[in-house]
Amino acid sequence: MKRIAMTLVLAAAAFGCSRHHPAESSKNVNPQAQQQAEALFATRCTPCHGPNGRGDGPASASLNPHPRNFHDSAWHKTVNDEHIERIIQYGGSAVGKSAAMPANPDLTEKPDVVAALRQKIRTFGTQQ
């Protein structure tokens, strides 16, 4: 009986911890959310950000400021995960950036898809 109680306490602690440190828990974004994020990126983000996040989508040419190259590792050091997740959900104007970066209000209900999108963008930063 005591052991069960202890397990519950540990489980609760682990859950609480992952809730308070989304950046750490995101290392294991669930596969379903990751799939959704891939599909979303291809349909919603690629027109401006390009299929590989280089800022070279077909709709990017006329944008000023231009979407940046997500492979720029120096930029990654200047922004935290919260910034990336905020701009994805609430758009550029919510973080003092260009309003050409649209909000995705449906994603505010899907934090793990937002985390998976953020992780995808972070991964570009680890690639040349």
Chain residues that interact with ligand HEC, rule: CB under 6 A: 40, 44-45, 47-49, 59, 63, 65, 67-68, 79, 84, 87-88, 92, 97-98, 100-102, 104, 117, 121
Q: At its nearest, how many Å lie between ligand HEC and the CB of residue 128?
A: 19
Minimal CA–CA distance to 76: which of 119, 36, 46, 43? Answer: 119
Instruction: Tell me phi and psi for residue 104, to 5 degrees.
Output: -125, 75
Q: Which is nearer to ligand HEC, 25 or 90 (CB)?
A: 90
Q: At its nearest, how many Å lie between ligand HEC and the CB of residue 11?
A: 32
Two tokens, residue 30: 């669930």
Q: At its nearest, how many Å lie between ligand HEC and the CB of residue 16?
A: 28
Q: Which is nearer to ligand HEC, 1 or 74 (CB)?
A: 74
Q: Which is nearer to ligand HEC, 25 or 76 (CB)?
A: 76
Q: At its nearest, how many Å lie between ligand HEC and the CB of residue 8?
A: 37
Two tokens, residue 124: 């570009």
Two tokens, residue 9: 């306490």
Could you count the other beta carbons within 10 Å of the beta carbon of residue 55? 18
- Asked whether the bond before 51 is cis by omega within 30 degrees of 0, the reply is no
Q: Which is nearer to ligand HEC, 49 or 71 (CB)?
A: 49
- DSSP annotation of 66 reads P
